[in-house]
Structure 1
Amino acid sequence: MKRVLLLGDSIRMGYDSMVKELLSDKYEVFFPEDNGRFSSYTLWQMNQCFKNEGSFDLVHWNNGYWDMNPERPMNEPIHPVEEYVSILKRMIRLIRSQNAEPVFATTTPVYKVGGAKDNTGIEAEISYQDSWVQKYNHAAKILMQKEQVTVNDLYALCLKGEKYYKCEDMLHLTEEGYWKIAVQTAELIRNILN
């Protein structure tokens, strides 16, 4: 049975169990219970998964909202876009060093500028606006093209939904939005691993 690792922030936490259900016939799908937060935290988390859970055939991950977030009292992103891209590059190297296939998922779009609490239990406030998302996604997609990494374009998918499938906090998604992402993600994983 092929093994799949799903990593990322609270958006991933909304679709991971759905992907596991959709792939349960042929794949073992693993994901940590912890929120992957920003890219350097997900990099650490990824390393722990390889160390403690063994090998995987494919690693699918998303980051972005935390990286671009200037949480008060900071007035700059946790990871400016250049740092974000550098960390994504390290993730690709780590995944490939473990003989797994990397798949990067873009950050979902923002319907209107705002902020919301994340679900980490530490009361982190995530600010968001679509111009930031577009900037970070653009830089990430250039890297993924250069590195020949498959991109799961969640941004484009969510643009098709009413209010981009955003729930009341305008950061996380509705159940319908998470289900749409899960279906697209599971289909992509099947196509790569078959």
Structure 2
Amino acid sequence: MNKYLLVSFLIFLVFLSAFSIRKPAILIIGDSISIGYTPFVKKHFEGKAIITHNPGNAQHTGTGLDKIEEWLGDEDWDIIQFNWGLWDLAYRHPDAKAYGNRDKINGTVTYSVAEYAANLDSLITSIKSKTDAKLIFVTTSYVPGEEAGRITSDVKNYNKAAKLVMKKHGVEVNDIYKKSVKIHQKYGVGNDDVHYTADGYEKLSKLISSYLEKELK
């Protein structure tokens, strides 16, 4: 092999190596709030990491227990970020007219604080049995006062219980609750809705992306 061919071959190997470097794989599991901010997180990590959200809405911890193996699949995840809560603390009644039969006056809570904590405990045990990925729990976001099926003060109780479970398992916590209150007050859909405008989801995404960025380093 002459000198020119050798140099060309070495350059080819350098380029091949550069393109074959594996990007970190991050799985986001969560409800509609996470569905709202995930596109902004994907944009932030474009070219740096592969961001995947579980198919559809992760709903409550009961759904998580049913589907967690399916969501994990066979992928070699580097980070798994997860959150449940808004569906768990929701009160529902079959005759309620609000979307999703939400009714905090006459309804029954989906999972009590104790049940929520127990389900999270089981979920983490299951996840850890399937993967060595770094786990990050994101706290439940703000519930405005006029929401039909949720009680504002419940969020702190559920988050407190979740943090104890995370501490037990050594799972990191990205506590976005306090900041989500301020974001919702300015960029929420309304005082009767837990969701956000596009600007609100973009604001939330910065809380997520900055935390993930730190973990990737």
Q: TM-score range by the shorter chain?
A: 0.7 to 0.9
Runs of 4+ in structure 1 off by over 4 angstroms are: none
Alignment of 1:1-194 (within 5 A): 1-51=23-73, 53-73=74-94, 75-97=107-129, 98-115=131-148, 127-161=149-183, 163=185, 165-168=187-190, 169-194=192-217
Ranked by relative contact order (alpha carbons within 8 Å, sequence separation 6 or more), the top structure is: 1
- Note closer, same or farther for the CA distance 1:162–1:34 as it changes in structure 2 (3 Å cut): closer
> What is the CA distance between 1:162 and its match in structure 2?
5.7
The question of whether the paired residues in 1 share the 8 Å contact of 2:55 and 2:71 is answered with no
CA deviation map 1:138-183 (0-9, x unaligned): 1111222232211111212112336263213521112222112211
CA deviation map 1:78-115 (0-9, x unaligned): 11111111111122222322111111111111221322
RMSD: 1.8
The question of whether the paired residues in 2 share the 8 Å contact of 1:8 and 1:42 is answered with no
Instruction: Tell me, in whole angstroms, the C-alpha distance in 2 between the residues paired with 1:85 and 1:69.
Output: 15
Question: What are the ranges of 5 or more consecutive residues in structure 2 without an aligned counterpart?
Answer: 1-22, 95-105
CA deviation map 1:11-42 (0-9, x unaligned): 11111111111112211111133111111212
Q: Give the 3-state SS of the residue equivalent to 1:107 in structure 2.
A: coil
> What is the CA distance between 1:45 and its match in structure 2?
3.0
Question: What are the ranges of 5 or more consecutive residues in structure 1 without an aligned counterpart?
Answer: 116-126
Q: Which has the larger radius of gyration?
A: 2
With normalisation by structure 2, the TM-score equals: 0.77
With normalisation by structure 1, the TM-score equals: 0.85
Q: Give the 3-state SS of the residue equivalent to 2:108 in structure 1.
A: coil
2:83 partner letter: N
Instruction: Tell me, in whole angstroms, the C-alpha distance in 1 between the residues paired with 2:165 and 2:25.
Output: 25
Q: Percent identity?
A: 29
- Note closer, same or farther for the CA distance 1:69–1:140 as it changes in structure 2 (3 Å cut): same
Instruction: Tell me, in whole angstroms, the C-alpha distance in 2 between the residues paired with 1:15 and 1:79.
Output: 25
The question of whether the paired residues in 1 share the 8 Å contact of 2:188 and 2:196 is answered with yes
The question of whether the paired residues in 2 share the 8 Å contact of 1:110 and 1:133 is answered with yes
